[in-house]
């Protein structure tokens, strides 16, 4: 399945949880039930498979990756040492578009991805336009000094509605984002169980 570009609130209502990567502020869930013509019907008890599928979908829609991309991340997470679920979350958090979002340059992950692909972001002083670029400890992400989005990015960083800055990012005096260390579970802003995602793909 390709990357989702449809109504964002519809996805959030379906999954029943905020997805910071899709919406800048917490959604107004005056209708905290799944979308559909039958209105506020009670949520059905989910099967074990449905629970695992929902956890996987939270991850996919928040980070804005396609199913094919997510499977590649899962394969690498399974092959690496340590907990596969935590390996997967850490790998997704290390994407350049996600770090641009978490640093506050843009309010959503789709906007951050666009900023990267249009060449407005540098890593260690060199332009990088690949959203999936993997950052390593010590890398410094910044808005290109010649970018027309630079002033707007600085304004976005001061927005009180933006998601909290994670521990693995430090903002310098020049408004650059220093990537300090590999992200941990507490750095991931999603209410999900990574073990269920591992079990979902283990059965494939």
103-121 pLDDT, tens digit each: 999 999 999 999 999 999 9
Q: What is the mean pLDDT of the chain?
A: 87
> Max alpha carbon distance in the chain (Å)?
54
On whether both 88 and 99 belong to a single domain, the answer is no
Q: Does 2 reside within a domain? A: no
Contact call for residues 82 and 100 (beta carbons, < 8 A): no
Could you tell me the residue range of the domain that residue 146 belongs to? Answer: 95-181
In the chain, the number of structural domains is 2
Report the SS3 class of residue 42: coil
Distance CA(15)–CA(4), nearest Å, equals 14
Residues 6+ apart with CB under 8 A from 22: 8, 11, 12, 61, 62, 64, 108, 109, 110
**Could you report the per-residue pLDDT of 47-96, keeping only the tens digit for each?**
899 999 999 999 999 999 999 999 999 999 999 999 999 999 999 999 99
**Where residue 126 sits, what CATH number does that domain have?**
3.10.290.10
**Where residue 37 sits, what CATH number does that domain have?**
1.10.1050.10
pLDDT band at 34, cuts 50/70/90? low
pLDDT band at 161, cuts 50/70/90? confident
Contact call for residues 43 and 28 (beta carbons, < 8 A): no
Q: What angle do CA 38, 39, 41 make, to 5 degrees?
A: 85
């Amino acid at each position: 399945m390709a990357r989702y570009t449809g109504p964002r609130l519809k996805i959030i209502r379906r999954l029943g949880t905020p997805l910071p990567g899709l919406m800048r502020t917490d959604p107004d869930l005056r209708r905290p039930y799944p979308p559909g013509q039958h209105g506020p019907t009670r949520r059905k008890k989910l099967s074990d498979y449905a629970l695992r599928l929902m956890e996987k979908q939270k991850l996919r829609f928040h980070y804005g990756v396609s199913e094919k991309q997510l499977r590649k991340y899962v394969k690498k997470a399974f092959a690496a040492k340590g907990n596969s679920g935590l390996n997967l979350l850490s790998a997704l958090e290390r994407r350049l578009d996600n770090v641009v979002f978490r640093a506050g340059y843009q309010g959503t992950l789709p906007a951050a991805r666009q900023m990267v692909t249009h060449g407005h972001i540098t890593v260690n002083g060199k332009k990088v336009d690949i959203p999936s670029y993997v950052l390593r400890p010590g890398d410094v992400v910044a808005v290109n000094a010649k970018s027309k989005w630079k002033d707007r990015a600085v304004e976005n960083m001061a927005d009180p509605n933006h998601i909290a800055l994670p521990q693995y990012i430090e903002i310098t005096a020049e408004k650059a984002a220093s990537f300090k260390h590999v992200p941990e579970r507490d750095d991931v802003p999603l209410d999900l169980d990574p073990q269920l995602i591992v079990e979902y793909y283990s059965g494939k």
